Amino acid sequence: MRTSAKRKPRGTTDGGQGKRAGQGADRRAQILVAALDEFSLHGFEATRLDDVAKRAHVAKGTIYLYFKDKESLFQELLRAQIGPVIGMLEAVLAGGTKEKKPVPLRELAHRVADLFVEQVIGTRRKDIVRLILTEGPRFPKLAEFYYREVISRGLSAFRARAKRAVNEGELKSDTLVRFPHLIVAPALVSIIWKSMFDKFEPLDVKALMKAQIDILFDKEERP
């Protein structure tokens, strides 16, 4: 329905020869970038492949050379971004086990929070997460994939680590074992807040994340 902006015509038609949009470069990547822009702006349904093509400086038909259809483009876009996230996540959580001196869970939590602020909130990745949140329910396959590859893995990794922290006395209760969600909660709130209410009242995401972690661990760490 396109509540806002009208379509703005592409300024220059690129001449016809010249730098033909990426030339030999990865057209696929170009299209994905453009698709992220448009999907973020309008959501899945309201995004027009025409606009994606325009933004990618590519003909409409070209998209179909690389993607089966609109839905494939959308799903591949999201899936493509999930890989790095998983990698980062596992790296950090594993990090705690490889170092000689074991890193306390609290320290790990702070690292994850920093990572989140820098690598998600501060980048286009927050839009990916938002898209998963908003369009996910309409794409059961996507939700399932996301659950399997990210959520369940992240949760169990964190749970395992939290269990150790309980055993080692870093945590007094098993709250975080039962509800690792509590670590993620402020992150979610941040993403949603940014996209809807930040213009009315800006939110200091870093401080919010820090506050939650401090609360979570201050409570637990008391003697």
Partner DNA sequence: CATGAATGAGAGTTCATTCAT
Partner DNA sequence: TATGAATGAACTCTCATTCAT
Instruction: Please choose which of a copy of itself, DNA, none residue 58 contacts, taking the beta carbon within 5 to 8 angstroms, the exact cut-off set by kind.
Output: DNA
Secondary structure, 3-state, 204-221: CHHHHHHHHHHHHHHHHH
Distance in Å, CB of 144 to DNA, minimum: 21
Distances (CA, A) of 67 to 56, 58, 82, 96: 14, 13, 18, 40
Cβ atoms of 108 and 161 closer than 8 Å: yes
| Contacted by 201, from a copy of itself, DNA, none: CB < 5 to 8 Å by type | a copy of itself
Report which of 55, 136, 16 is spatially closest to residue 63, judged by C-alpha positions: 55
The smaller minimum CB distance to a copy of itself, of residues 30 and 75, is found at 75
130 contacts DNA (rule: CB under 7 A): no
From 65-73, 100-108, 199-207, 213-221, give the range in contact with DNA by CB under 7 A.
65-73
Q: For residues 170 and 96, what is the distance between their CA atoms, to the nearest angstrom?
A: 14
- Which residue among 34, 35, 36, 58 contacts DNA (CB under 7 A)? 58
Output DSSP code: residue 136.
Answer: G
Contacts with DNA by CB under 7 A lie at 2, 5-14, 20-21, 23, 27, 46-50, 58-62, 64-66, 69-71
